[in-house]
């Protein structure tokens, strides 16, 4: 059942690529099964979970609902693109958003997180100092089943704090009171 | 209990260098950068794609299957049916009632019937349409009460219990007498609806069969060892010719504990075609085959004295098991056995019955078997407090079971920080000034719970260790730890890394972990029953202490000092009495290798003998129990009936927090999942047995906007047998969220919600009933 094949030209994480794929394939399928960029995940394949979120010309889109041939010639950023871009800009190691997620415990199973980190990255690129409400709104399209979102917010807050010099809110379990039995 | 199983609560070198502080996870940056490989990320040369044909009927006999048209389709390499995999299996060895593909009959809509391997997914899907199956319809059981009394047709033939899957009746003390002499009695019925795990990663498996007849299966499973055993049984292969690997796992919550049809199908198809085969379930299929939380109908009768002391508890629970046994034997026991703390019951009886129905099969979900009874009982305890005019926190304090004690059903309790948990949530929520005093429509509710840190009863009886670990020491300065434990996102591989670094005085980046590969790693029983930190942690300490003795001895001999003067920390070796003596640890490895030969060590953990001296007395017996208390704050909109949970304070006694950040993550994630079960999620079928909404949109899991503020408050009771005193944190903290919300709704608007989920319709109906009873035309918004 090979569909009609089409040739696509995309700018993926800064590189121009040419790829042949069935014309009914989604961007997610092309990324995962043609280009080997498996960091973008498929959780539902119908736009409900947000795990497949990638940046299209800098804006978050659901790659499972995006027909690959509709983005011909456009720039796509996947989770694999963040660290190289950060390094190319003179940084060291992972992108600050990725690093903050690791340092805040936001990566439990990690399956939904590439979509969430890209949503967060797009927000911070647009607005380096967003409010809590802005952060909530930006992440409302991404489901996470592990964290209860708290450590995700803390990670985004940490990334914002480090970029702006703000002090992050202390976490509930870091209170001045000693832990344990009184 | 072997000496190796008790390591004390203290730091190996006097003070902790790594444990007790927030640390990165061992696999955090791999996950953050998209480098971590999950099952569906695996692509092998020449790999075929497989799909499953599923039953459209809830209960039917298979008259015939004709796959010839599917096989004739270009690109189709193989079709298999139940005839190819006739051996039954089941995760519990006493109840093997599943087939990888249906043999003779189907038992729920979605039961797998045939599988196809083809060059790509589209071809495999097309082939499914060409398989012709003739069914003869049978009566479908959708109401568990019907399964109690009607047994013809039987869902599983040849059982003397008919459609009853399991019954457990246990009585401890003279319950009837205690209830007859109690000052007050509360008796009520409660309903727990079905819910499911909804891990964001769908089930996926890949198989490869080599020319030398070794079968490798990569699967999104949380119990590699049981998949290994089940594959050997069903495929009738010697176990040593099978390798099972769990790649990085995208969430499980109990939903990846059973062996699943796809693991057998990809294996058989790989053997049949000589090519690697992958199968990835669609989200819809994940809902059909879910093994989620059992729906239960619960009846509790509790008696207490005037001062609020519990006298007796009489429980009757009907459990809707769906179409297969799964872990149901354990569920039926857990539904009674795990209720006997944190409160003392002088007398207790439970009668739990699990029945089969023609619905998707249920199994373990986070807080297996005990979340439902906990919901019912904690609401009942609140009703009792109301009747006695006692503060709901006070009645819980008065009935505290204590520490270092035994429960009415013979479970040994060691450390118990429940009172500290109550204190913490009481203080943090400002309970004393706010409970019962908030404006109408806003309220606070409390609930408590306890949960196991693993169980001493392995799923299949054996005397071997439950957890094993192997350490390999490299001349580069790296220690590799091999564990059969399954990291499902909870961070168990990180726990191994922290402990190895702590024990051997290494920097974190000098320890890497290889896990959940049956070829490479010693057996561990897997990620279930909250056993991993406790058991794998203890096994890790055991291995490290053996190795540490060698490292210290070699260095002490080299420096010609007493071994007591040696301290290993952060990758350095120090002489505590001579600051001129210091070496990088890698040189200590070399000294030890010269002295002792190639370095390495193994370690293990097994539980002590535990449990009551009666049939089933070991089920639910754990080497340590965790304890939790929640206060939930809700607002109730009396016009629309909508309940919003605003905040949950979660205090959890995890023994010792090896990494408080990861413990807090487990507590917050648990509470989130409980809130979702209370207010939003429902796993139901229609009158034909068809799932009502098998998608992540229709099964309404909370987004960031729906989730309340979550405040994790860690309590550390330091358990005498846990690794450095630690206990579980991944499942216990879910339990109280659901009853705490019901109790908060009572505080907010005076209605008792006993039937989950608390939807606007139920809230409005209860409010209308309340008004009818009070005889007042109370209007929305009126003050208390």
Quick: pLDDT tens for B35-59. 999 999 999 999 999 999 999 999 9
Residue A20 to residue B244: CA distance in whole angstroms? 34
Residue B114 to residue B205: CA distance in whole angstroms? 16
A145/B423 CB distance under 8 A: no
Q: Which candidate in A108, A130, A159 is best for mutational testing of the B interface (most B CBs within 10 A)?
A: A108
B250/A46 CB distance under 8 A: no
Q: What SS3 state is found at B631?
A: strand
Task: Please tell me whether residues A73 and A134 are part of one structural domain.
Answer: no
**Ordered alpha helix ranges (H), B55-174:** 68-72, 121-129, 144-149
Cβ partners under 8 Å of residue B16, min gap 6: B502, B724
A148/B717 CB distance under 8 A: no
Residue B179 to residue B229: CA distance in whole angstroms? 47
Output the pLDDT for position B333: 98
- Write out chain B residues lying below 8 Å of A21, CB-based: none
Q: Is the dihedral of CA B73, B75, B76, B77 positive or negative?
A: positive
Residue B67 to residue B130: CA distance in whole angstroms? 7
Integer distance in angstroms from the first to the last C-alpha of chain B? 58
Q: What is the DSSP string of B388-419?
A: HT--HHHHHHHTB--SSEE-TTSPEE----HH
Residue-wise pLDDT for B485-494, tens only, equals 999 999 999 9
Q: What SS3 state is found at B643?
A: strand
A172/B713 CB distance under 8 A: yes
Residue B629 has pLDDT above 90, yes or no: yes
Q: What SS3 state is found at A67?
A: strand
Task: Please tell me whether residues A52 and A119 are part of one structural domain.
Answer: no
Number of domains in chain A: 2
Place of tokens 């000693």: A178
A172/B715 CB distance under 8 A: no
- Kindly give the interhelix angle for A150-164 and A113-126, rounded to the nearest 10 degrees: 30
Q: Is the peptide bond before B547 cis (omega within 30 degrees of 0)?
A: no
Of B701, B738, B707, B716, the closest CA to residue B627 belongs to B716
Torsion of CA B713, B717, B720, B723, to 10 degrees: 20
Say if residue B567 is exposed, middle or buried (CB neighbours under 10 Å; 0-12, 13-18, 19+): middle
Quick check: B634 and B646 in contact, CB under 8 A?
A: yes
Residue B298 has pLDDT above 70, yes or no: yes
A171 in any annotated domain = no
Q: What SS3 state is found at B727?
A: coil
Where among A78, A111, A127 does a domain terminate?
Answer: A78
Q: Which candidate in A110, A114, A133, A171 is best for mutational testing of the B interface (most B CBs within 10 A)?
A: A110
Say if residue B87 is exposed, middle or buried (CB neighbours under 10 Å; 0-12, 13-18, 19+): middle
Pick A108's closest partner by Cβ from B75, B202, B669: B669
Residue B532 has pLDDT above 70, yes or no: yes
Quick check: A99 and A161 in contact, CB under 8 A?
A: no
Task: Please tell me whether residues A84 and A160 are part of one structural domain.
Answer: yes
A109/B201 CB distance under 8 A: yes
Task: Please tell me whether residues A48 and A60 are part of one structural domain.
Answer: yes
Pick B695's closest partner by Cβ from A22, A39, A46: A46
A78/B34 CB distance under 8 A: yes
Residue A84 has pLDDT above 60, yes or no: yes
Quick check: B165 and B97 in contact, CB under 8 A?
A: no
Pick B282's closest partner by Cβ from A45, A94, A136: A45
Q: To the nearest whole angstrom, how far is the Cα of B119 from the nearest Cα of chain A?
A: 9
Residue B730 to residue A101: CA distance in whole angstroms? 20
Residue B358 to residue A131: CA distance in whole angstroms? 50
Residue B775 to residue B784: CA distance in whole angstroms? 15
- Write out chain A residues lying below 8 Å of B494, CB-based: none
B664/A171 CB distance under 8 A: yes
Q: What SS3 state is found at B169?
A: strand
Output the pLDDT for position B458: 87
Q: Is the dihedral of CA B714, B484, B252, B245 positive or negative?
A: positive
Output the pLDDT for position B457: 83
Task: Please tell me whether residues A140 and A92 are part of one structural domain.
Answer: yes
Judge whether A168 is closer than 8 Å to chain B, CB to CB: no
A63 in any annotated domain = yes
Residue B778 has pLDDT above 70, yes or no: no
Q: What is the mean pLDDT of residues B709-714?
A: 97
A25 in any annotated domain = yes
Task: Please tell me whether residues A41 and A104 are part of one structural domain.
Answer: no
- Write out chain A residues lying below 8 Å of B199, CB-based: 109, 111, 145
Q: Both tokens of residue B3?
A: 């000496």
- Write out chain A residues lying below 8 Å of B491, CB-based: 108
Of B573, B574, B600, the closest CA to residue B586 belongs to B573
Residue B633 to residue B758: CA distance in whole angstroms? 15
Interface of A with B in 129-158 (CB under 8 A): 136-137, 139-153
Q: What is the DSSP string of B341-365?
A: -SB--SSEEEEEEEE--SSPPP---
Q: Which candidate in A81, A141, A150 is best for mutational testing of the B interface (most B CBs within 10 A)?
A: A150
- Write out chain B residues lying below 8 Å of A152, CB-based: 704
Residue-wise pLDDT for B312-336, tens only, equals 999 999 999 999 999 999 999 999 9
A49 in any annotated domain = yes
- Write out chain B residues lying below 8 Å of A79, CB-based: 33-34
Residue A148 has pLDDT above 50, yes or no: yes
A102 in any annotated domain = yes
A181/B712 CB distance under 8 A: no
A46/B663 CB distance under 8 A: no
Quick check: B753 and B739 in contact, CB under 8 A?
A: no
- Write out chain A residues lying below 8 Å of B665, CB-based: 105-106, 108, 146-147, 150-151
Task: Please tell me whether residues A92 and A160 are part of one structural domain.
Answer: yes
Interface of A with B in 2-61 (CB under 8 A): 2-3, 22, 32-33, 36-46, 48-49, 51
Q: To the nearest whole angstrom, how far is the Cα of A71 from the nearest Cα of chain B?
A: 22
Q: Which candidate in B33, B199, B251, B629 is best for mutational testing of the A interface (most A CBs within 10 A)?
A: B33
Whole-number Cα distances in Å, B697 to B191, B283, B702: 24, 11, 10
Structural domain boundaries enclosing A92: 80-164
A176 in any annotated domain = no
Say if residue A162 is exposed, middle or buried (CB neighbours under 10 Å; 0-12, 13-18, 19+): middle
B664/A152 CB distance under 8 A: no
Rounded to two decimals, the ipTM of the complex is: 0.97
Q: Is the peptide bond before B757 cis (omega within 30 degrees of 0)?
A: yes
Residue B6 banded pLDDT, cuts 50, 70, 90: confident
Domains of chain B and any CATH numbers? 3-36+465-605 (3.30.365.10), 39-138+202-249+256-288 (3.90.1170.50), 370-456+617-774 (3.30.365.10)
Output the pLDDT for position B4: 65
Pick B33's closest partner by Cβ from A79, A145, A148: A79
Residue B784 banded pLDDT, cuts 50, 70, 90: very low
φ, ψ for residue B148, nearest 5 deg: -70, -35
φ, ψ for residue B512, nearest 5 deg: -120, 155
Q: What is the mean pLDDT of residues A47-76?
A: 97
Residue B424 has pLDDT above 90, yes or no: yes
CATH, residue A137 = 1.10.150.120
Cβ partners under 8 Å of residue B437, min gap 6: none
Task: Please tell me whether residues A160 and A134 are part of one structural domain.
Answer: yes
The residue in chain B having the minimum alpha-carbon distance to the alpha carbon of residue A135 is B704
Task: Please tell me whether residues A56 and A128 are part of one structural domain.
Answer: no
Output the pLDDT for position B456: 87
B29/A33 CB distance under 8 A: no
Q: Which of A108-112, B363-367, B586-590, B780-784 has the lowest average pLDDT? A: B780-784
Output the pLDDT for position A3: 64
Interface of A with B in 97-126 (CB under 8 A): 98-99, 101-114, 117
Residue-wise pLDDT for B129-144, tens only, equals 999 999 999 999 999 9
Q: What is the mean pLDDT of residues B550-570?
A: 97
A111/B704 CB distance under 8 A: no
Residue-wise pLDDT for A149-180, tens only, equals 999 999 999 999 999 998 888 898 886 555 55
CATH, residue A57 = 3.10.20.30
- Write out chain A residues lying below 8 Å of B123, CB-based: 1
Q: How many CB pairs under 8 A join A and B?
A: 223
Quick check: A39 and A12 in contact, CB under 8 A?
A: no
Residue B28 to residue B24: CA distance in whole angstroms? 7
Q: To the nearest whole angstrom, how far is the Cα of B496 from the nearest Cα of chain A?
A: 16
Task: Please tell me whether residues A23 and A47 are part of one structural domain.
Answer: yes
Integer distance in angstroms from the first to the last C-alpha of chain A? 68
Residue B306 to residue A10: CA distance in whole angstroms? 75
A61 in any annotated domain = yes
A144 in any annotated domain = yes
Residue-wise pLDDT for B428-459, tens only, equals 999 999 999 999 999 999 999 999 999 988 88
Task: Please tell me whether residues A105 and A39 are part of one structural domain.
Answer: no
Task: Please tell me whether residues A86 and A148 are part of one structural domain.
Answer: yes
Record the pTM.
0.97
Q: Both tokens of residue B265?
A: 């199908």
- Write out chain A residues lying below 8 Å of B697, CB-based: 46, 48
A39/B35 CB distance under 8 A: yes
Whole-number Cα distances in Å, B612 to B316, B618, B750: 21, 6, 41
Strands B348-355, B310-320: pairing is parallel
Quick check: A172 and B711 in contact, CB under 8 A?
A: yes
The residue count of chain B comes to: 784
Pick B41's closest partner by Cβ from A38, A149, A153: A38
């Amino acid at each position: 059942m090979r569909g009609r094949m089409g040739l696509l030209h995309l700018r993926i994480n800064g590189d121009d690529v040419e790829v042949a794929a069935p014309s009914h394939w989604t961007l997610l399928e092309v990324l995962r099964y043609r280009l080997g960029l498996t960091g973008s995940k498929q959780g539902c394949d119908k736009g409900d979970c947000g795990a497949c979120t990638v940046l299209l010309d800098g804006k978050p889109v659901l790659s499972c609902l995006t027909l690959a041939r509709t983005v011909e010639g456009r720039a796509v950023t996947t989770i694999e693109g963040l660290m190289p871009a950060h390094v190319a800009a003179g940084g060291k190691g992972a992108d600050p958003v990725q690093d903050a997620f690791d340092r805040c415990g936001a990566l439990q199973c990690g399956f939904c997180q590439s979509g969430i980190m890209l949503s967060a990255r797009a927000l911070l690129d647009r607005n380096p100092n967003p409010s809590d409400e802005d952060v909530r709104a930006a992440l409302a399209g991404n489901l996470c089943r592990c964290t209860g979102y708290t450590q995700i917010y803390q990670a985004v807050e940490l990334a914002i704090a480090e970029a702006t010099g703000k002090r992050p809110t202390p976490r509930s379990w870091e209170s001045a009171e000693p832990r344990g039995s009184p | 209990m072997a000496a190796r199983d008790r390591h004390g609560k203290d730091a190996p070198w006097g003070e902790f260098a790594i444990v007790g502080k927030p640390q990165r996870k061992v696999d955090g940056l791999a996950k953050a950068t998209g480098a971590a490989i999950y099952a569906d990320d695996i692509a092998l040369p020449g790999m075929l794609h497989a799909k499953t044909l599923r039953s459209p009927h809830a209960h039917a006999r298979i008259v015939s299957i004709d796959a010839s048209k599917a096989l004739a389709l270009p690109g189709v390499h193989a079709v298999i049916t139940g005839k190819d995999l006739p051996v039954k299996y089941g995760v519990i060895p006493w109840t093997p009632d599943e087939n990888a593909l249906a043999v003779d009959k189907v038992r729920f809509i979605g039961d797998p019937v045939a599988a196809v391997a083809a060059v790509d997914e589209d071809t495999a899907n097309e082939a499914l349409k060409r398989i012709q199956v003739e069914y003869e319809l049978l009566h479908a059981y959708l109401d568990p009460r019907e399964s109690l009394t009607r047994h013809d047709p039987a869902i599983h033939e040849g059982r003397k219990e008919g459609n009853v899957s399991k019954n457990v009746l246990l009585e401890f003390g003279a319950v009837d007498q205690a209830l007859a002499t109690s000052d007050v009695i509360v008796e009520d019925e409660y309903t727990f609806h079905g819910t499911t795990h909804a891990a964001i990663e769908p089930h996926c498996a890949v198989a490869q069969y080599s020319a030398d007849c070794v079968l490798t299966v990569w699967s999104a499973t949380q119990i590699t060892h049981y998949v290994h055993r089940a594959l050997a049984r069903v495929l009738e292969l010697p176990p040593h010719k099978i390798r099972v690997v769990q790649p990085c796992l995208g969430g499980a919550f109990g939903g990846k504990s059973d062996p699943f049809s796809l693991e057998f199908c990809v294996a058989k198809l790989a053997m049949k075609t000589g090519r690697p085969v992958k199968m990835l379930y669609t989200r819809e299929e994940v809902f059909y085959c879910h093994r989620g939380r059992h729906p239960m109908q619960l009846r509790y009768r509790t008696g207490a004295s005037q001062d609020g002391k519990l006298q007796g508890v009489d429980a009757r629970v009907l459990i809707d098991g769906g179409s297969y046994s799964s872990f149901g034997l354990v569920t039926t026991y857990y539904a009674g056995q795990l209720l006997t703390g944190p409160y003392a019951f002088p007398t207790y009886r439970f009668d739990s019955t699990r029945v089969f129905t023609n619905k998707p099969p249920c199994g373990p979900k986070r807080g297996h078997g005990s979340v439902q009874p906990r919901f019912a009982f904690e609401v009942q305890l609140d009703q009792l407090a109301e009747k006695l005019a006692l503060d709901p926190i006070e009645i819980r304090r008065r009935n505290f079971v204590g520490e270092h004690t035994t429960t009415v059903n013979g479970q040994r309790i060691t450390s118990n920080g429940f009172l500290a948990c109550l204190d913490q949530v009481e203080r943090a929520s400002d309970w004393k000034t706010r409970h019962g005093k908030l404006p109408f429509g806003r309220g606070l509710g409390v609930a408590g719970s306890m949960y196991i840190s693993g169980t001493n009863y392995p799923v299949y009886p054996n005397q071997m260790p439950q957890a094993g670990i192997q350490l390999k020491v490299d001349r580069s300065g790296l220690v590799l730890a091999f564990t059969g434990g399954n990291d499902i996102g909870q961070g168990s591989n990180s726990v191994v890394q922290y402990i190895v670094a702590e024990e051997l005085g290494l920097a974190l980046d000098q320890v890497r972990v290889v896990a959940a590969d049956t070829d490479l790693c010693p057996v561990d029983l897997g990620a279930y029953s909250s056993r991993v930190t406790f058991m794998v942690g203890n096994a890790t300490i055991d291995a490290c202490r053996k190795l540490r003795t060698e490292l210290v001895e070699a260095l002490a001999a080299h420096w010609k000092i007493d071994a007591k003067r040696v301290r290993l920390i952060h990758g350095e070796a120090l002489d505590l009495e001579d600051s001129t003596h210091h070496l990088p640890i890698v040189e200590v490895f070399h000294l030890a290798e010269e002295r002792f030969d190639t370095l390495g060590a193994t370690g293990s953990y097994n539980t002590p003998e535990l449990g009551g001296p009666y049939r089933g007395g070991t089920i639910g017996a754990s080497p340590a129990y965790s304890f939790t208390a929640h206060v939930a704050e809700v607002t109730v909109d009396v016009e629309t009936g909508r309940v919003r949970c605003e905040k949950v304070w979660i205090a959890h006694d995890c023994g010792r927090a090896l990494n408080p950040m990861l413990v807090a993550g487990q507590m917050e994630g648990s509470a989130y999942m409980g809130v979702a079960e209370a207010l939003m999620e429902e796993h139901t079928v229609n009158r034909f047995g068809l799932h009502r909404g098998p998608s992540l949109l229709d099964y309404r899991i909370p987004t960031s906007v729906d989730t309340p503020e979550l405040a994790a408050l860690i309590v550390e009771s330091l358990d005498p047998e846990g690794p450095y005193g630690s206990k579980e944190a991944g499942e216990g903290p879910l339990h109280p969220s659901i009853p705490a919300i019901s109790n908060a709704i009572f505080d907010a608007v005076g209605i008792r919600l006993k039937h989950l989920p608390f939807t606007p319709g139920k809230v409005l109906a209860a409010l209308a009933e309340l008004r009818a009873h009070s005889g007042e035309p109370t209007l929305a918004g009126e003050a208390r």
